[in-house]
Chains A and B, each alone.
Chain A
Amino acid sequence: MTEPLLEFRDVTIQYQTNRGPVTAVSGASFSIEPGEFSGLVGESGSGKSTLVKSVIGGLDSNGEVTAGKILYKGEEIQDYTEEELNEKIRWKEISYIPQSSMNSLDPLQRVSEQAVEIASVHSDLSKSEALERFKELFEIVGLSPDRIDDYPHQFSGGMQQRAITALALFLDPALIIADEPTTALDVIMQDQIFKYLDRVKANTDTSMLLITHDISVVFESCEQIAVLHGGQVCESGSVEDIYRNPTHPYSILLQRAFPDIRYPDRKLEIIEGHPPEQLGEVTECSFVERCPWAVDACYENAPPLENVSESEQNHQSACFRNDETHALKGELTELAGLTDGGEPNE
């Protein structure tokens, strides 16, 4: 097996607040292989943005990785200083598409100026080479190359999103972290953005870590997926495995909460409750309060990620009752009296 590009090992991230430390991410583990598109899904407040921001030093000043390791190409980066991040990681290796792309371009700088500045800091490109390259990228993301000298306010929101994406692709990063890149856009724009992300995937060997609360987007664009709940990774694995064979109770319930075009009459399920806000150390499964099948052990310890079966590589689920959930799911279907809640055949 090759070395993963990026690996989280039992990462715990806490924010210091007036009420004590809030644990946003606890013991999260998962990894991204080179050239792979990986999706990170979860509800609002599940810690997905926090987790990825820790990679590039983007946490708020009161946030900190308090335990675990973040490995990039085998090197521990969780304790990197600002200078080291600037030297080794940011834009040289990992670029970032922020959640608020509409406010992220400097209003006093032409977009091309911002690109040239980034190039001058991180690469040997001359100014004209950088501009040439940036023009090409404008073309790739579907913007007219002669508009690179515009100011951000001359662009629409969708165009700013594209310009930000062009900046992320600019220096051929090994990994792009996209934090809900399409949240602010309408579905048509979303579709266009994902179309060119697909094109990027086809044409380069860039990896992508895509954060979203829209699970269908992940199924469409990614190979790997990790499901986050309350700061814990519930389940991770290939998109096919998790779609066909969700094992963690949260994933099972989540799947039933999504509309399926093949069963338009099916009633959508609701997962009651909210992800918990955790003060201090977390010692239980974060899903325990919402889980229909919780047992005493779930309150005592946070379950570790374990392989689900020997046939499915990398498919891991963090539940003490991994072996039983499929049977339990059957019960649930009968109880709810669904027309068809099982696994649809393709």
Chain B
Amino acid sequence: MSMKRYVAVRTIQTAVLLMLILTFLFMLFRLIPGSIADQMIFQGASPEAVAAFEEQWGLNDPLHVQYYHYLVNMAQLDPGTSLHYRKPVLDYVKLKMFNTFILVAPGVTAGYLLGTSLGTIMGIKRDSLLEKYGIFPIVGVGTTPSFFLAIIGVIIFAGWLGLVPTSGMITPQVALEMGEDAPWWKIYTTGDFLWHYVLPFSVIAIKYMYEPLLIMRTSVVEMAGQDFLHYHKLTGLPKARWIRHLGKHAIIPIITFYPISLGRAISGLVLIEIVFNWPGIGNALVEAVLQSDYPVIQFVFFLTAAFVVVGNYVVDIVYGMIDPRISIAD
């Protein structure tokens, strides 16, 4: 099967999957007990007012009509209005999402880069001291629950050493001084942001280092014993080139893992966000759940699922590009 067809098939599959997720969420939120109108208008409103409200927002329409409106709105990137903040969900979530993304994506990526490089070295230098003794602390740290790791980090680096702040993304004073008119991205360019950023970033990087390290180490050892790599060596390729070939083969499982890890981390590092009081999507979701802010929850759920699905999609495409043997059967 040609690459083009492979991409086309996977794209359609992914679109269908996203559609199913939307449908599932639509049903889920309509199965929750209690009327949406109750959530949205003050208690004690007259039945007429409630009826008028339901009429206005199409809550009395047949389900399939509601479903249609829901899909159209989602397609237009309009997930509704936050019940709590009374502003468009997208505007609210967008910023939270960015805060999470700017922390998690570089953190996980750094962890993967570190882990992959170190795993490669350990795989090549098998039985060295580094490989024998280096692995215990890394696995030990990596398997510690993330919130615990975060707390230890705060105690040591913020408490005892006082190098970094204990929590938050920016000192309120700095944000205030910037004024209302500053563009939204301005705070991310300040040194104060970086100062807040270092510790949570490091915790995530260390936490996400051990999985790629273990995978890469095993993969390198396994691949180095393959006949085609032995043949590469005997054709007289210089060591550096040989390692490049080895890496290209060994890294395939990492490439599969990375986007999935990233997708999960973006929606799943709630505990780290809470420990560091980072204004990201995890914190926002917890808040929204406590306030029964359904439109926000619904959209965050969708994003969460979409990241994983899109992550898998990217993996498949990249996989197909690096390994010509991968394709879908007709």
Contacts and interface: CB of A to CB of B under 8 A. Distances in A.
Given A82-B239, A98-B227, A151-B325, A106 B245 contact: yes
Interface in A57-85: 57-58, 82-83, 85
A121 B245 contact: no
Interface stretch (A19-27, A89-97, A132-140, A308-316): A89-97
A302 B229 CA distance: 38
A167 interface: yes
Interface in B187-246: 226-239, 241, 245
B323 interface: yes
B325 A153 contact: yes
Interface string B259-274: 0000000000000000
Interface in A87-142: 89-92, 95-96, 98, 100, 103-108, 117-118, 121-122
A56 interface: yes
Contacts of A108: 248-249, 322-324
B236 A91 contact: yes
Contacts of A85: 236
B228, B235, B241, B245 — most chain A CB neighbours (10 Å)? B235
What is the size category of the interface that chain B forms with chain A? 20 to 34
Given A108-B324, A153-B324, A90 B227 contact: no
A86 interface: yes
A86 B249 contact: no
B226 A103 contact: yes
B231 A105 contact: yes
B98 to A, nearest CB: 37
Contact of A98 (B234, B241, B324, B325): B234
Interface string A205-218: 00000000000000
Given A106-B232, A151-B325, A117 B237 contact: yes
Nearest to B227: A103
B234, B236, B323 — most chain A CB neighbours (10 Å)? B236
Contacts of A107: 228, 323-325
Contact of B236 (A89, A98, A100, A103): A89
A100 B248 contact: no
Nearest to A118: B235
A100 B227 CA distance: 7
Interface string A232-246: 000000000000000
A207 B54 CA distance: 92
Contact of A103 (B228, B235, B323, B325): B228
B267 to A, nearest CB: 33
A292 to B, nearest CB: 40
Given A86-B238, A108-B322, A167-B235, 5 more contacts: A96-B234, A106-B228, A106-B229, A107-B323, A121-B241
26 contacts: A58-B230, A58-B233, A82-B239, A83-B239, A86-B237, A91-B236, A92-B236, A95-B235, A96-B231, A98-B231, A100-B227, A103-B227, A104-B227, A104-B230, A107-B324, A108-B249, A108-B324, A117-B237, A121-B236, A121-B237, A121-B238, A151-B324, A151-B325, A153-B324, A153-B325, A167-B235
Interface of A: 56-58, 82-83, 85-86, 89-92, 95-96, 98, 100, 103-108, 117-118, 121-122, 151, 153, 167
